[in-house]
Amino acid sequence: MQLQDSVVLITGGSSGLGAAAARMAWQAGARVVLADKAEPPASHPLKALDPVCERWHWQATDVADAVSGSAAVDAVQDRFGRLDVLVSAAGLACAERVHGRDGPHRLETFQRMLQVNLLGSFNMMRLAVPAMLNAPPRPAQAGSDSRGLVVFTASIAAFDGQVGQVAYAASKGGVAAMTLPAARDLARDHIRVMTVAPGVFDTPMLRGLPDEARVSLEATVPHPARLGLPDEYAALVRHIVENDYLNGEVIRLDGALRMGPR
C-alpha cells in the first residue's frame, strides 16, 4: 500500500508520536484526519505545511466513546470520501503501585488506563474497518494485497513493566495481545493489523521531566544512547504501510532497551 492519495486517520494526532505520523503521512501525499480531544496547537506541523487545511482536518474525538469515535470515522468519509489507514496513537500513562503510601491502587486509575489505551484502540479499529471495506479500489494501489491497515501503538512496558506501571503495562499488554487475533479476524478482508511498541521517546510526556531524569533515561538505552525521536516512530509507520507482508506482529522500537524494575 502506498501513502500517496491514501486517507489516514490518526488518533492522538495533535501531539507527540501522532503529530509526527501526521506530518510524515501528509508529506508522503496522504490526506490526514487528526482524531484527538485536544485541538492541534499553533506549533503543529500541519498548521505550517497546510494552513488552509486542504489535505488535513481535526476532529474532536474521545476514542473510548462509541458515538464520538463513530463521528470521527464519519468525518473522514465526509471530508475525503474513504479511509485506508488507522494509526492509533492516543494514550495515557500513569504511575501508581498496587499498594503505596496512600493505600491500594485506585480502581478508577486502572479503569481509565484500560478505557483509553485498550478499549479506545479497539473501538477505533472496529469503527474504521467498515469504512476501509467500503472504500473503492484505487488504480494507484494496483499490485497491493491490502485493502486497509490498522497500526496500534503499545509500549515496551507491555513486556518490561516497571514499578508503578501495573495499570499502564496491562493496558499496553492488551494492545499487543490484540494484534495477532485482530489480524487473523481481518485477513479474509485483506486488512492488516500491526503494532509498534516504542521505548522511551522525546515526546511532551517526557519533556516535562527534570533534566537529571531525562539524562538518566537516555543512559539506559544501549544504542543509540538517547531518547527515541518521534520521526523514527513515523518512519516505522510508513514502512509498515508500504510493506504488505508485515501483518499480525508487534515491533519493538527501543534501541535494545530492556527496562529494569525501576
The label of the residue with cell 533515561 reads 217
- Distances in Å between the Cα of 252 and the Cα atoms of 27, 83, 110, 163, 198 are 25, 26, 24, 20, 6
What is the tally of structural domains in the chain? 1
253 strand-pairing partners: 198
Task: List the 7-11 sheet strands across, edge first.
Answer: 56-60, 31-36, 7-11, 85-88, 148-153, 191-198, 250-253
CA distance 186 to 181: 9
What pLDDT score was predicted for residue 70?
98
Residues marked active site are found at 168
- Distances in Å between the Cα of 3 and the Cα atoms of 110, 167, 201 are 36, 35, 24
Is residue 2 a part of any domain in this protein? no
Is residue 262 a part of any domain in this protein? no
Residue 46 CA neighbour count, 13 Å, CB half: 30
CA distance 228 to 81: 35
Instruction: Please tell me the pTM assigned to this model.
Output: 0.94
Residue 248: left if φ>0, alpha if ψ -120 to 50, beta else—which one?
left
* Range scoring the smallest mean pLDDT among 53-62, 93-102, 127-136: 93-102
Q: Is the peptide bond before 224 cis (omega within 30 degrees of 0)?
A: yes
pLDDT tens for residues 142-190? 567 789 999 999 999 999 988 889 999 999 999 999 999 999 999 999 9
Q: Which domain holds residue 230?
A: 7-253
Q: How sure is the predictor about 10, in pLDDT bands with cuts at 50, 70 and 90?
A: very high
pLDDT tens for residues 211-245? 776 787 788 999 999 999 999 999 999 999 999 99
Residue 167 CA neighbour count, 13 Å, CB half: 24
Is residue 1 a part of any domain in this protein? no
pLDDT tens for residues 23-80? 999 999 999 999 999 999 999 999 999 999 999 999 999 999 999 999 999 999 999 9
> What's the CATH code of the domain at 208?
3.40.50.720
CA distance 224 to 48: 30
Q: Where are the alpha helices (DSSP H) in 52-202?
A: 66-80, 107-113, 120-134, 157-160, 166-186
User: For the residues 7-16, what does the mean pLDDT come to?
Assistant: 97
- Distances in Å between the Cα of 12 and the Cα atoms of 96, 152, 153, 164, 190 are 23, 12, 10, 24, 25
CA distance 153 to 167: 16
What pLDDT score was predicted for residue 143?
63
User: For the residues 70-98, what does the mean pLDDT come to?
Assistant: 95
CB atoms within 10 A of CB 87: 31
Question: Which secondary structure element, helix H or strand E, spans residue 150, and what is its range?
Answer: strand 148-153
Is residue 259 a part of any domain in this protein? no
- Mean pLDDT taken over the chain: 94
What pLDDT score was predicted for residue 39?
96
Is residue 47 a part of any domain in this protein? yes
User: For the residues 108-112, what does the mean pLDDT come to?
Assistant: 95
Contact 84, 3 (CB under 8 A): no
